[in-house]
């Protein structure tokens, strides 16, 4: 029996009529990497980005998604392109 495999596709690769969708997992992974690897705590992200502490906590819990300008600012602070969070 063959098990189908899936691969991540970036926003730039979506093509084929598929509409890219925001990936909580890619965003949360970037938040965790920033928290663990780069020494930026959720509180620091909130302060530097001008976000509420509650908003960052909701993002990290996967309850809410940053949109528009919030996503752009968060991506900048995380050293990412907003498109990196789409599959």
Residues whose CB falls within 8 Å of the CB of residue 27, separated by 6 or more in sequence, listed in order: 59, 65, 66, 74, 85
Domain locations in the chain as residue ranges = 19-85
Looking at domain 19-85, its CATH class is mainly alpha
> Would you place residue 84 in the very low, low, confident or very high pLDDT band (cuts 50, 70, 90)?
very high
Q: What is the C-alpha to C-alpha distance for residues 66 and 55, in angstroms, rounded to an integer?
A: 8
Would you state the structure tokens that stand for residue 64, as one six-digit string? 């809410």
Q: Give me the chain's average pLDDT, please.
A: 80
Statement: residue 29 has pLDDT above 50: yes
């Amino acid at each position: 029996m063959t098990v189908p495999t899936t691969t991540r596709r970036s926003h730039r690769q979506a093509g084929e009529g598929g509409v890219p969708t925001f990936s909580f997992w890619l965003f949360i992974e970037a938040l965790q990497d920033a928290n663990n690897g780069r020494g930026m705590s959720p509180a620091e992200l909130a302060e530097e980005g001008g976000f509420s502490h509650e908003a960052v906590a909701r993002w990290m819990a996967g309850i809410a998604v940053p949109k528009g300008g919030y996503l752009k600012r968060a991506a900048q602070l995380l050293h990412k392109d907003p498109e990196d969070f789409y599959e």
